[in-house]
Amino acid sequence: MDYLKCYKKMISLRGLTDHTMKSYRTYISTYLDYIEITLHKTPSQVSYNDQRRFLEVLQRERNLSDRTINVAIFQLRFFTLYVLHKPWDDTQLPMRKFDAYLPFVPTKEETKIFISTMTDLKPKAMVALMYSSGLRIGEVCNLRYEDIQRKNMRIHITHGKNHSDRYAILSKQALDILTEYWFACGRPAGYLFPKQRDSSKPIDTFYLSRHIAKHEAELGWSKRFTCHSFRHAFGTHLYENGVDLMTIKTLLGHKSLESTTIYVHLAVSSKHTATSPFDTLMDGDYHE
């Protein structure tokens, strides 16, 4: 039995986006190699103790965080339930606790410098759309010509993470960059950002990740930017400009308002910053 092929088939039946499907396969191939080469067992013979040892090896060799180990545990659970059709005991491989952290968000000035200094029109147009409309990288890659509604100045998102359509803001400045790209790069009529060798398919997400890292190095900046940094910047800068959370939630396509509240913590605008009571104590005067 081809276990990896069966695993891929089972996750495809869930109707996930291509990007999400790839993330679901991150550690299963390594797991199957481990139990065959190291343990000399078939997947159905593996015990929870064997799986715990695999996670220990994985964390040690790749220096993975507890958050990432949880991803591996989730994949093992999915494999056990839907490929082996065996029960799963959460008490045997409990999810790890990890420290929550706030993602990096570029300032408005950093965002302006990053985009304005990009010379390659294709990645520049993609980054401009991510920041100006709050799009996910997968949503940008899957944009089609007809999704850009110039008359209404909005973008129709049909390949969202939550499988629900929505409309995103279409920025005039981003549209200008996109139009310049469109005329310079063959006027694509299907996917706006097609694969170079097969225009019937959307461009791979790693294309933009590579260009972002390259441009960051050209600017001499520390490696902090990811594709998602621009989506976070969109939400954060909107909140700093006074836009309410419910509107931001709708524009970003969040299922829950809880996901949107992170921008309260990321915002630096004084408009949303409380004053310490110590600074108002005794009319703000403090003497030794």
Alpha-carbon gap, residue 119 to 125, rounded angstroms: 10
At 252 the three-state DSSP class reads helix
Alpha-carbon gap, residue 276 to 274, rounded angstroms: 6
Alpha-carbon gap, residue 144 to 157, rounded angstroms: 9
Whether residue 202 contacts residue 195, with contact meaning beta carbons closer than 8 Å, is answered with yes
CA angle, residues 72, 142, 224, in degrees to nearest 5: 55
At 26 the three-state DSSP class reads coil
Helix (H) or strand (E) holding 114: helix 108-116
Both structure tokens of 148: 């850009």
Which residues participate in catalysis according to the annotation?
A: 136, 161, 228, 231, 254, 263
